[in-house]
Amino acid sequence: MTTELMRDLLSKDEKITVEYKTCQHGIQEDVYDTVCSFSNRYGGYIIMGVEDDGTPIGINPNLIKDMKKNFVNQLNNPSKMSPTLYLSIEDFEYEGMILLWVYVPPTATVEKCGNRIYDRNEDGDMDITDSPIQLQNMYNRKSTTYAEHK
């Protein structure tokens, strides 16, 4: 991560590939919904320590070590994320504050969070578990993206 890239990511509104989370008291539960939806769509950046409008507020430095550990543990907990994901959460100093960020790549398989399936739409994480048409669209999109065709 460079200062220029972080500045660019924070200079725009949340969108299909960028999500801001405040995370003032630890990793918010909805961060994992976003991880799931990003992996099911195009991938994207989650930046923690930032207000919804892109204003950096920082993360308490005393919480960073535990936040990183908890994030990785939850991604490798099959009752939370299935299949499990191997992602690194990084800290970054920006304008005198510490932010946490992670890039979530798109995956070939359909990712579940807490046994629910999320997809990204504009700047939101949509639970499509009970929507057969949206689920079929996701499976079709992933099969044409990641399968070999003759």
pTM of the complete model:
0.89
Residue 46 has pLDDT above 80, yes or no: yes
**What percent of the chain lies above the pLDDT cut of 70?**
96
Q: What is the largest CA-CA distance in the chain?
A: 54
* 128-138 pLDDT tens trace: 999 999 999 99
* 59-111 pLDDT tens trace: 999 999 999 999 999 999 999 999 999 999 999 999 999 999 999 999 989 99
Report the DSSP beta bridge partners of residue 120: 125
Give the chain's domains with CATH numbers.
3-143 (3.30.950.30)
d(C-alpha 14, C-alpha 134), whole Å: 22
Rounded (10°) CA dihedral 115, 117, 52, 24:
20
Residue 150 has pLDDT above 60, yes or no: no
d(C-alpha 138, C-alpha 110), whole Å: 8
Q: In which band, very low, low, confident or very high, does the pLDDT at 141 lie, cut at 50, 70 and 90?
A: confident
* 16-34 pLDDT tens trace: 999 999 998 899 999 999 9
User: What's the CA angle centered on 29, arms 27 and 35, to 5 degrees?
Assistant: 85
Q: Which of 41, 66, 18 is nearest to 145 (CA)?
A: 41
Q: Is the peptide bond before 61 cis (omega within 30 degrees of 0)?
A: no
Residue 125 has pLDDT above 90, yes or no: yes
Model pLDDT, residue 3: 87
